[in-house]
Structure 1
């Protein structure tokens, strides 16, 4: 890490509770850098990302208000590896740069970078430590069906496109178990928060030496 800032990469499978965990860290005054929010910003109206997509795919991918029709874009790249590669090559560097800019601008002791596909997109190279929010696949399926109103088959399809639970846990430096009570979750976050504060202080000492 070239950034003089201690960065925690927070990830987990769909419906694992990443946002809930991130918000608990935010309660301690820790800045969050959210890849999903940034991914929307780089294709917002007037952005270079949206202009490039319009040039490449045509105006049919825009809604009447000029914003990106996400479902139309998904349909374009879903079964087309070449188009998906083009899109990833366009957006990933933009997202990565914006995330780094936000980390650099952060004023909290350390930063939580929330990235759903942290390992899949090799963004773990940008962080000092990785934190995985873990729940059982059965729970992921039921929570996603309930939250998004989708079928079991659709959720299983999403799970199949992500890293397996075993692969994710094998890569994790820290793990939060989000299958129990909320208070249990809160106590795990507090323990890690204190740990990260210490690591951040150590990093600062080394930088200043």
Structure 2
């Protein structure tokens, strides 16, 4: 197994499921967590090869004059064109994969987590030894995101359409954490952590 026999675990969940909350619980137990979506945003600005590729795909307007991502412009382009979104993902995901490999080699412990929103959709779950899916009822997820982002129900549902439903992801997951009550979720994380550190690969 790569990275000095350290287990690689994917951690994902649909919008509003609370996958980041679950990731923080693992961090509190001393587990290193790689936040793929945050790292991707950083790489899209700092990785010069990736920047050049994105400008080639979307045009110079993809970046502001001071080098920051022009998020509004990018969103207006890719969310109206599924093929263009796929092409952008095909540029970003390999860069994230390389960054994760380098990061993982620097970590210590029995296992590390790679937290990503579309782990199953983009196929990167296949690169993990095990995968954890965080779930919650649809109405709970909707309420969380509407409250968090000040978004309308329709807007949240539209964003959810870009992700697979839980029914499609559950068969691919090795572990499922149902995140409704925070204390119950914490207990599930603690129990799974004990199980993971006991594995002998």
TM-score in terms of structure 2 length: 0.92
Written as runs of structure 1 = structure 2, the 5 A alignment for 1:16-165 is: 16-45=17-46, 47-165=48-166
* Structure 1 Cα separation of the partners of residues 46 and 104 of structure 2: 24
* Structure 1 Cα separation of the partners of residues 8 and 47 of structure 2: 30
Q: Is the 8 A contact 1:50 1:68 kept in 2?
A: no
Question: Gaps (5+ residues) in structure 2?
Answer: none
Three-state SS of the structure 1 residue aligned to 2:30 is coil
For the pair shown, the structure with the greater C-alpha radius of gyration is: 1
Three-state SS of the structure 2 residue aligned to 1:23 is helix
TM-score in terms of structure 1 length: 0.89
Residue by residue over 1:122-175, the C-alpha shift from the partner in whole angstroms, topping out at 9 and shown as x without a partner, is 111111111111100111111111101111111111222211121122222111
* Structure 1 Cα separation of the partners of residues 58 and 18 of structure 2: 34
Q: Is the 8 A contact 1:30 1:112 kept in 2?
A: yes
Question: Gaps (5+ residues) in structure 1?
Answer: 204-209
* Structure 1 Cα separation of the partners of residues 179 and 125 of structure 2: 21
Task: Give the CA deviation at 1:44.
Answer: 1.5
Q: Is the 8 A contact 1:131 1:176 kept in 2?
A: yes
